Amino acid sequence: MVFVVKDTLYNNKCYMPKISFLLLFTYLISLGALSNLSGAKTKIVLIAGKDSHGAGAHDWGDGVDLLSHALTEESGLPIVTAVHKGGWPTDASIFTDAATVVILSDGGGRHPINKSLRQYDALAEKGVGLVCVHYAVEVPKGAPGDMMKKWLGGYFEVFWSINPHWTAEFKTLPKHPITRGVKPFSLSDEWYYHMKFRENMKGVTPILSALPPESTLKRGDGPHSNNPHVRKAVLERKEKQHVGWAAERENGQRAFGVTGAHHHKSWDQDDFRTCVLNAIVWTAKVEVPKDGVKSLPNPATR
């Protein structure tokens, strides 16, 4: 619809009859002409590293596409996404107005964020959230690790954390926006565990926790396979391991780390997928629906 104010001519000049600005403003809103002001969408940036394991595993590109589609086309929430594949974006404009950044990628020395610590830290200081999935929770010890603890609440540290394949059974879940609509579930995956968290777990809330079986500690000691610290935690103290966690900072920044999703098919597990979608929305400071973020089943195989 086009809104037209009829002109009246006086001395060859165009004269617009006086109309209450308030009435005009209200009318424009009713037409949806100011939708960008009244119904702005929350922007979520999803970054995929280079696929590294062949079909079925570490499918980062397919992973971010799946999450993006669920958020924008299935959730019913006012969300817009910006997707970048192949590593860290070279064009910083992708982060303009971003509420949170989601990373699916290889980690360690190949983590996309390693060379952009200052860039993301500037975003984090403004409250921009962070979600790291699977291998993306691992960065080198030192400056990257310290920054990841600051932003994410914890990370995979070599010779401390390990990366076995096992079936995690999440028998109980905490009351948190991230667990809305999520039921206890079990899932076979490469669940890294024994993360290096902030001191005294400050600002960190465990979301997915389970006690790994002894079979996960049969390998010899190594940077990713086994170590005395993890053996004491699991075999002696019988400590549940937190493989999904939420983190908050005093400046309002929110984050979520989860160590599963080595297998692309893991996204077909409804409760796992809902948990991660809830977490993305929560880190973007969008209200998580009481029944969780909606998405269609079997996105990895349909």
SS3 string, 177-212, reads HHHCCCCCEEEEEECCECCEECHHHCCEEEEEEECC
Considering the entire predicted model, what is its pTM? 0.88
The residue range of the domain holding 10 is: 1-40
Q: Are residues 184 and 156 in the same domain?
A: yes
Whether residue 292 is contained in a domain is answered as no
| One domain for residues 77 and 31 | no
Residue 77 and residue 91 in one domain: yes
In this structure, are 181 and 196 located in the same domain? yes
In-domain check, residue 298:
no
Is the pLDDT confidence value at 21 over 50? Answer: no
Tell me what percent of the chain is helix, strand and coil, each rounded to the nearest 5.
Answer: 35, 25, 40
User: Nearest-CA neighbor of 48 among 96, 87, 77?
Assistant: 87
pLDDT by residue (tens digit) across 126-169? Answer: 999 999 999 999 999 999 999 999 999 999 999 999 999 999 99
Q: Is the pLDDT of residue 38 over 60?
A: no
| More confident of the two residues 31 and 262 | 262
8-state DSSP, 5: P
Neighbours of 257 (CB within 10 A): 30
Same domain, 23 and 166: no
Token digits for 191? Answer: 């669940």
- Bridge pairing between strands 129-133 and 196-197: unpaired
Residues 30, 56: one domain?
no
Q: What is the pLDDT of residue 52?
A: 85
Same domain, 22 and 170: no
User: Would you tell me how many other CB atoms lie within 10 Å of the CB of residue 230?
Assistant: 23
Burial class from Cβ neighbours inside 10 Å (0-12, 13-18, 19+) for residue 12 reads: exposed
| Count of domains for the chain | 2
In a domain, 30, yes or no: yes
